[in-house]
Every structure is written in structure tokens, then in C-alpha cells.
Structure 1
Amino acid sequence: MSELVSIIMPSYNTGEYIKESIQSVINQTYSNWELIIVDDHSQDETVNMIRSFHDKRITMYRAKKNCGAAKCRNKALQEARGKWIAFLDSDDLWYPEKLSKQITFMEEKQSCFSYTRYEKIDSVSKPLGIYVSGPKLIKRNRMFDYCWPGCLTVMYRADILPNKLQINNIRKNNDYAMWLMLTRYAECSLLDETLAKYRIRAGSISREHYLSLIKWHYKLFRNVEKRSVILSTIFVIRNLFFGILKKIIFEKKFVGK
């Protein structure tokens, strides 16, 4: 277990959280990693928070203007040198053993693409007691049903793709677009253990938010996946159904991990 892991982190106005996110990477029991942060022209203290770390494994790039998470992730992926690619948003957290356990799991299962369970925390990192899982194995057809993996839990082997992964420049759902692309080459396996913490910020959910998601889901299927109007509409409806199903089956309250 000595291969380099490239960790992809886009950032935008997360000065309140990013130090804790970076520290959760530094605290990893697996030490052979590079953290590539691409800041999307933040207007708060984000950049200063990043610069406060003096670890040669951390590299920061800054966009000259706000361009969206997709372009930031693409820049980081272009710079990535690792055998393994992992993702962590700049307000989320990892458990210290996240990388070591996931790499061991993938090597033992000969998996090229995997994700883990995660728990939800609030804006001050307080656990909400909600743990989210998903299907044990996600093939391409099932990935169209719903975006099952949490971005902060995903890892894949860089060499499964003929070229470095690059995402279509869409403002929303660019993580979903990545998983759909990856499932062209590999199935996604679940490591059924809680190894990450997903931050829920106050006021982030609204009726308009869900209506916006429907629009962006349609654009993903129609414009990125090049599906017909009818099939794109069917996929959106299926997403709504499986989103409800996920909350019933895979999102539960537990005691402990």
C-alpha cells in the first residue's frame, strides 16, 4: 500500500470549514497522498486558510474568475499523478482511516471504483445521527436510477480510463456526470463502513432547490449523456422515485458507526 492517492478538492467561499477538511486529510493513517485544491476565486478567507498549511503534499491553484466546480475538478484531475483518485469537498470530512481501509478493500476485491457509507453533520460539525449507505454493487444501468455514491466517499483507479477523466462543464450534477462516465469502464462497489462526514449547512434545502435539481438532472441526461427527450424525462422520474427509496432504505439513524 504505497501507491500515491490524488485527492481532488474544489473550493469556493468555505473559509469557515476548509481548515477542518484539510486537517482530516493530514490526519489520514495512509500518508502517501497529494491534495490538489483548486479555488474557484473565493471572496472570503478560503485562500488564506489554505495557505496557513505548510505541507508539501498540498498544492493550490486559483481560478482567475469564478468558473464552477466542474472546471475546478477538471484542473485538479489534469494535475493528478496518483494511481488512486479520491474526492473531498472543502466543507466535508474524512475519518482518519478512510484512505487505508478503502485501498485495502479495493485491492482485496480487485475493484477499480468504490464508495463508502457516510454520516451527516451540521454546520458546526455536530453529528446528526444519520448514516447513508447504498447498493452493494452499482452497474451502469443502476447508476442511471440515482446518484448513489456520496462524492466525499468515492475512489477509483486512474488507469481504468483510456485518458484522464474530464467532466462536461455543467454547473450542477458534475459529480453525477463523473460516476456515469466511470461506470462505462467499471462497476462501483460499496465498502459498507462509515468513513466520511457530509456537512449539512443551514438553509441549504428548499422547494426551489428541488425544482432546480429536476432541471439539472434533465440537462445531464439530455445534453451530457445524449439521451432522447423521452428517455431523459423517464430518467428524471426514475431519479425522483429512487431518491425517495434511498431515504427509506439507505438513509437511517444508527447508534455508532
Structure 2
Amino acid sequence: MFISVVMAVYNGEKYIEEAVQSILHQTYPQFELIIINDGSMDRTREILDTIEDDRVKIIHAETNQGAAASLNLGISHAAGDWIAIHDADDISEPTRLEEQVNYLRSHPESIGVGSLILGRIGDETVSNNSEVEYYNQILEKDQIYKNRLFMCYLCHGSVMFSKKAFYAAGRYNPKYKISYDYDLWLRMFEISPIQKIPKVLYHYRLREDSLGKQNTANTISELMTISSLHIYKKLIRKKRRQPILTVVGSKKGCLFFKTHVGKKYKKLNYVYVRTIKDSRKIRLLNKRGKIHAAVVLNNRLSNALTHRLLRRGPRWRRKVFKIWNYQF
């Protein structure tokens, strides 16, 4: 089984050499490393050009296109049928590729596999961290699919996936600059959920200057857009007409959705949740035929409302979707 490790880098001079070396020292021999230098303006190009290893292919882009476009480019040059993603500031354990290949060989129905992670700050490893603990949850296949709209289950750089499934799912969407991985996972999970090896095989760099942490509003907006569009498109395929989404949440959350996401839809209702009794508003809209899907924004009150609606039976379980949005 030949593996193509694909890495996109932008201004990564601080950690790129360490990341590359962690791949070149893998115990599994059958791989190539494809690095896309996404228009870096620091010493990244100079560092990459010093690499003398036949297993490494380097593509220098003259302008910055974003990680999603760069990864699509790298995968288009991949010789392997399996793609291992690796972020340019992270580190893979020496046995990562070997253990993931062994897992895939023993689970031929799988389209991919991730792993547990350690956080990394400078040269120190970190395990007692909320972000690390979040990525280290282990779920069964049915739970992965059930919770897909409410959590990003996989640490992006830890995943190895089928190139065939990647293209079947539609590749990375370059319009997303932060949560492009989450968007891809949602589409790949429609083929099959991706599980994890319950062992640390990847070190994830914890950085306060990451794109996702620099602008929380943009991150939340992308997450809301990705999950709600996923629901919307699935309903279109099912109903073969334009569905009506009803956004349920706090006034603050609904206004945020309306401002940052709502323009993408022609038909939207909003229900502001002030008390648990507001579930009656949703039931009334449903009786009038104005709800094809209730998109619930996560907070304590709307979570309780969701639970009350789901207890009403299978029809509501097909209509109520709680999405990931940082407690709005």
C-alpha cells in the first residue's frame, strides 16, 4: 500500500523542518511526501529547497491560495491511493503510517482512519488541554454520524483517507479558509464514518495565532454555514424542492446567523428561545407546514428544547438538527 503524505505550508519557517523530518523518519517505507508551498514570504522556500530526498516532491506556488486549494493541488499530484494529511507545524510519531496502514488492511471497508493526539507548545507536549481532550474522544460509527453536525471529531493532520473517497466526496472546498476539513468530513461521512486508532500517533501544535483563533466570528460563521448547508442540500435531494429551514436559538445567536449565514437561503424562519415552552412555537410552525428542518443553535435552553422535541418521536428526529456553534 503506497501512501502519499500531503502537506500545505504558508510562512512555516519555524516548524516546517521538524514536521518534514517526522515524516522522513517513518518506520513504514512505502510513501512519498508532497509539500505545497502556498506563496510563503518567509524562509520556507529556502528551507524546502535544501531537502535532498527522492521521496519528497515540492511545489512552489507564487501566490497564496489558501490551505484547501493547496491540498487539492497536492492530492492531484499524489501517486498513492491513500492520502495522509500532515500539517506543516505538527509532528507524526515514527510509527504513524505503519499503524494506520495496518488498521486499514485489517478494516478493508474503511475509507480512512485518524488517531489520538498530544498537544504541543514549543518543545513541550500537552495532554491536559480542552482542545486536545476534545479531539481525543472515541465514538462508535453510529455515534460519529449522529454527532457529525455538532462536533469536528477528527484532528485534520492525523487522518489518512482513501483518495477515491476524497474525490467521490468532492475534494476540499477552497471557499472555506478555516473549517475546510470539517466540511470535507461531513461529505465523507455520508460515504462512511472515519474512526480512530485509540493511540497517540500525532502531535498537534497549540497556537493562539492560528487562523481559527484569530477571528472567532469567522470561524463560527464557517461552521454554521457548513453544517446548515449540509442539512439544506440533503433535504433538497430528499424533497426535490427548496426546503424551509427554521433557526432556533437565543436572540443573539439567531441574529448572528441571519447576518453571517442567512443570505445564503431564500426561505428561513427564526424562533427565539426564551423559555422551554417555546417548543410550542416550533410545533405550531410545523403544523402549518413551515418547518422542513429545525436548525438548533447550541445553548443550554435550546438544548433542553431539542430534547423535548426529540422525545415526540421519529418524525421529529428527522427534522431537528443541533449544529456546532460555540454556545451561541
Query: How does the TM-score come out when normalised to structure 1?
Result: 0.83
Percent sequence identity is 22
Aligned positions of 1:50-69 closer than 5 A: 50-69=48-67
Shift of 1:171: 1.4
Q: Is the 8 A contact 1:77 1:164 kept in 2?
A: no
**SS of 1:7's equivalent?**
strand
Q: Is the 8 A contact 2:212 2:219 kept in 1?
A: no
User: Does structure 1 residue 14 correspond to structure 2 residue 17?
Assistant: no
Distance 1:61 1:226, change over 3 A: farther
Structure 1 window deviating more from structure 2 (217-226 vs 43-52): it is 217-226
Distance 1:86 1:208, change over 3 A: closer
**SS of 2:116's equivalent?**
strand
Q: Is the 8 A contact 1:134 1:190 kept in 2?
A: no
> Which protein is bigger by CA-based radius of gyration?
2
Shift of 1:201: 2.3
Q: Is the 8 A contact 1:39 1:60 kept in 2?
A: yes
Aligned positions of 1:79-158 closer than 5 A: 79-110=77-108, 111-122=110-121, 124-130=122-128, 131-132=132-133, 133-138=136-141, 139-158=144-163
Shift of 1:101: 0.7
Gaps of 5+ in 1: 245-257
Q: Is the 8 A contact 2:149 2:324 kept in 1?
A: no
Q: Deviations over 1:164-211 (max 9, x none)?
A: 852112212111111112112122112100000001124559986333
Structure 1 window deviating more from structure 2 (89-98 vs 151-160): it is 151-160
Structure 1 window deviating more from structure 2 (58-67 vs 204-213): it is 204-213
Amino acid at match of 1:221: S
Aligned positions of 1:105-254 closer than 5 A: 105-110=103-108, 111-122=110-121, 124-130=122-128, 131-132=132-133, 133-138=136-141, 139-160=144-165, 163=168, 165-169=170-174, 170-204=176-210, 209-223=215-229, 226=232, 229-230=245-246, 234=295, 237=298, 238-240=322-324
Shift of 1:30: 0.4
- Please give the alpha-carbon distance, in whole angstroms, between the structure 2 residues aligned to 1:108 and 1:206: 35
Q: Which has the higher contact order (CA 8 A, sep 6+)?
A: 1
Structure 1 window deviating more from structure 2 (192-201 vs 127-136): it is 127-136
Q: Is the 8 A contact 1:86 1:156 kept in 2?
A: yes
Amino acid at match of 1:117: L
Alignment root-mean-square deviation, CA? 2.6
Structure 1 window deviating more from structure 2 (138-147 vs 172-181): it is 138-147
Structure 1 window deviating more from structure 2 (12-21 vs 231-240): it is 231-240
Distance 1:229 1:16, change over 3 A: farther
Q: Is the 8 A contact 1:83 1:158 kept in 2?
A: yes
Structure 1 window deviating more from structure 2 (71-80 vs 163-172): it is 163-172
**SS of 1:175's equivalent?**
helix
Structure 1 window deviating more from structure 2 (12-21 vs 44-53): it is 44-53
Shift of 1:97: 0.2
Distance 1:91 1:51, change over 3 A: same
Residue aligning to 1:250: none
Shift of 1:126: 1.2
- Please give the alpha-carbon distance, in whole angstroms, between the structure 2 residues aligned to 1:203 and 1:171: 15
Amino acid at match of 2:82: W
Shift of 1:144: 1.8
Residue aligning to 1:249: none
- Please give the alpha-carbon distance, in whole angstroms, between the structure 1 residues aligned to 2:189 and 2:145: 5
State how many pairs are aligned: 240
Q: Is the 8 A contact 1:77 1:166 kept in 2?
A: no
Shift of 1:20: 0.1
Amino acid at match of 2:72: N
Q: Is the 8 A contact 1:115 1:150 kept in 2?
A: yes
Distance 1:225 1:71, change over 3 A: farther
Distance 1:161 1:10, change over 3 A: closer
Query: How does the TM-score come out when normalised to structure 2?
Result: 0.66
Q: Is the 8 A contact 2:118 2:204 kept in 1?
A: yes
- Among 22, 25, 28, the residue aligned to 2:23: 25
